[in-house]
Amino acid sequence: ILSFQKMPAGRMIQSDQGPDLPDKDRKLSTAPHSKDGLSGLLRLVLQELSLFYSRDVNGVCLLYDLLHSPWLQALLKVYDCLQEFKEKKLVPATPHAQTLSHEVMELLCESPTSPEIQELRQILQAPHYKALLRAHDTVAQKDFEPLLPPLPDNIPASEEAMRIVCLVKNHQPLGATIKRHELTGDILVARVIHGGLVERSGLLFAGDKLVEVNGVSVEGLDPEQVIHILAMSHGTIMFKVVPVSDPPVNSQKMVHVRAMTDYWPQEDPDIPCMDAGLPFQKGDILQIVDQNDSLWWQARKISDLAACAGLIPSNHLMKRKQREFWWSQPYKPHTCLKPTRSISMEEEDDMKIDEKCVEADEETFESEELAEDKEEYVGQGQKFFIGPSGVGVNELRRQLIAFNPSRFQSAVPHTTRSPKSYEMNGREYHYVSKETFESLMYSHKMLEYGEYKGNLYGTSVDAVRAVLDEGKICVMDLEPQDIQVARTHELKPYVIFIKPSNMTCMKQSRKNAKIMTDYFVDIKFKDEDLEEMEDLAQKMETQFGQFFDHIIVNDNLQDACAQLLSAIQKAQEEPHWVPATWASSDSEY
């Protein structure tokens, strides 16, 4: 709307000064635009256009209707009013309207009563009116800014390099941590939290030395004692600091990562300040905003970018912890890892200003750097379906292909078994010898494979590529342990987890469904089968949840199909996060 408003007006204003105007523009050049503003100009444009309306020259009708629309006219009027208001630079007639009102009241009391005087007195005494005058005076006197304490008169010459910083703290934390310098014992600002009050003020930096807090000298105090002073303070807090000579500049670009594990700061004994920690779960997308510290990064969740950042362990630190853990513990997959406190952190004694500190235990962390999948990477990709056996992965895939065979297709798998009479090589399977199959396996050309009744079965990367080359979306099942193999720059897989619904719904929806096991074909689901399915689904989610791009609960088959279609559509059309290596065209795969 804005550019639309500006363009015609801008052109007309220019043409106003131009020497060779077409007739139409010459007529417009007489527009008293400075007085009538944009709505005046619009009126003139409409007059012009009305001449061409009946002929609909080059879509004039459309333009006419648009310019004639009441909302645009109303908008322009608002714009004009605002412009007018801006130029006026309003100044209050008096900054003491309340006093004036009192004086009037006194005069009215002395005057002989009449109905008008009575009414005026009532108006002046009404609480809303009084409140309005109070608000008026506050604005007129600019009395809304915090009162800063006066600067001390007797500042010694040696204190010239000091800075006095006043921050107004309401109920939010200040967003900084402090520590004691191990040699000098000085109390320093250790870390400024991105997006916090201190960072937004731009007045305190990591490395600044605290001299006084609210007039109390911090010399010789413990960080805890400083925290206590701060905890007791509300409203304006005054810091006297010796500024760090080189305030750190955060020049790194933001990166996005997908968390590969859960992290609970409350359970991490090493975090410099527990309250400043950012808890996250597997699969969460984090925006890393500060990597200045090699051990503790600052990050926000992409789902809550308005929030202040929190501390998370750097990749390097997590790997270190992980290594120490593996050396000290017997292997226990998917349990909470509890590193000992032996990891020697830098001698930080960080405390979040005005809050408490530190405690125990955490989990492994790795992360994957991400890039938002922009248009150039979106394309017909590979869609993998994952789910516990019997949940309906095959059924959904079949339905999808049946719904639109020209868009969706499975990759033709390889097998070492002999073809049946009605089968054709390359249609149901690629029939190959055991040696050929094994050579594909060993040269990592198989996405997934397994043995069934003495024969090998599997899907090759080439089979998937063949589908993609046809411009179709390749849909296939995958065992979760094969996800990592499939996550390549070339395939850019989109992984959809098919999840069973709750037991009651499953019993109902699978009443007539049949399963196929290694030994039986077409037998009904038993309660144990459904329980096992639920259990397996939970395990898959815990172990591989971070790789799932989308989750669909397969309760009602039709609903699940519809959800699947819309999820795939969305994945094709909308940007989503993918590993950064997939986004760079020159990365190896």
Ligand X SMILES: Nc1ncnc2c1ncn2[C@@H]1O[C@H](COP(=O)(O)OP(=O)(O)OP(=O)(O)O)[C@@H](O)[C@H]1O
Residue with smaller CB distance to ligand X, 357 or 393: 393
Query: Of 483, 264, 258, whose CA–CA distance to 364 is shortest?
Result: 264
Helix (H) or strand (E) holding 351: strand 351-352
Q: How far is the CB of 412 from ligand X (least distance, A)?
A: 18
Residue with smaller CB distance to ligand X, 315 or 563: 563
Residue with smaller CB distance to ligand X, 237 or 478: 478
Binding mask 340-379 for ligand X (x = CB under 6 A): ----------------------------------------
Report the residue closest to ligand X, judged by CB.
392
Q: How far is the CB of 522 from ligand X (least distance, A)?
A: 8
Residue with smaller CB distance to ligand X, 103 or 535: 535
State the Cα–Cα distance between residues 346 and 359, nearest whole angstrom: 17
When binding is defined by CB under 6 A, the residue of 173, 265, 339, 390 that contacts ligand X is: 390
Return the C-alpha torsion angle 481, 486, 489, 492, nearest 10: -100
Q: Which residues ranging from 144 to 203 are in contact with ligand X (CB under 6 A)?
A: none
Q: Phi/psi zone of residue 390: left (φ > 0), alpha (ψ -120 to 50 degrees), beta?
A: left
Query: Of 51, 12, 6, whose CA–CA distance to 30 is shortest?
Result: 12
* CB atoms inside a 10 Å sphere around CB 458: 22
Size of the site for ligand X (CB under 6 A): 17
Tokens at 588, concatenated: 């190896």
Query: Of 51, 45, 33, whose CA–CA distance to 4 is shortest?
Result: 45
Residue with smaller CB distance to ligand X, 443 or 512: 512
Q: How far is the CB of 379 from ligand X (least distance, A)?
A: 27
Residue with smaller CB distance to ligand X, 326 or 452: 452
Strand partners, 165: 239
When binding is defined by CB under 6 A, the residue of 190, 309, 318, 393 that contacts ligand X is: 393
Q: Which residues ranging from 495 to 534 are in contact with ligand X (CB under 6 A)?
A: 509-510, 513-515
State the Cα–Cα distance between residues 402 and 399, nearest whole angstrom: 5
State the Cα–Cα distance between residues 185 and 164, nearest whole angstrom: 21
Residue with smaller CB distance to ligand X, 277 or 387: 387
Residue 300 buriedness (CB in 10 A; 0-12 / 13-18 / 19+): buried
Q: How far is the CB of 550 from ligand X (least distance, A)?
A: 16
When binding is defined by CB under 6 A, the residue of 324, 361, 395, 549 that contacts ligand X is: 395
Stretch that binds ligand X, among 188-196, 230-238, 311-319, 386-394 (CB under 6 A): 386-394
Strand partners, 497: 386, 551
Inter-residue contact 100 to 130 (CB < 8 Å): no
Inter-residue contact 309 to 195 (CB < 8 Å): yes
Q: How far is the CB of 470 from ligand X (least distance, A)?
A: 24
When binding is defined by CB under 6 A, the residue of 73, 214, 394, 538 that contacts ligand X is: 394
Binding mask 531-570 for ligand X (x = CB under 6 A): -----------------------x-xx--x----------
Q: Which residues ranging from 243 to 302 are in contact with ligand X (CB under 6 A)?
A: none
Inter-residue contact 311 to 297 (CB < 8 Å): yes
Residue with smaller CB distance to ligand X, 392 or 493: 392
Query: Of 408, 394, 411, 396, whose CA–CA distance to 515 is shortest?
Result: 394
Query: Of 186, 190, 181, 148, whose CA–CA distance to 165 is shortest?
Result: 148
Inter-residue contact 313 to 294 (CB < 8 Å): no
389 binds ligand X (CB under 6 A): yes
Residue with smaller CB distance to ligand X, 394 or 572: 394
Q: What's the first-to-final CA gap in the chain, in angstroms?
A: 46
Stretch that binds ligand X, among 43-51, 189-197, 390-398, 465-473 (CB under 6 A): 390-398
Q: How many helices (H) and strands (E) does the chain have?
A: 19, 24
Q: How far is the CB of 562 from ligand X (least distance, A)?
A: 12
Binding mask 442-471 for ligand X (x = CB under 6 A): ------------------------------
Binding site for ligand X (CB under 6 A): 387, 389-395, 509-510, 513-515, 554, 556-557, 560
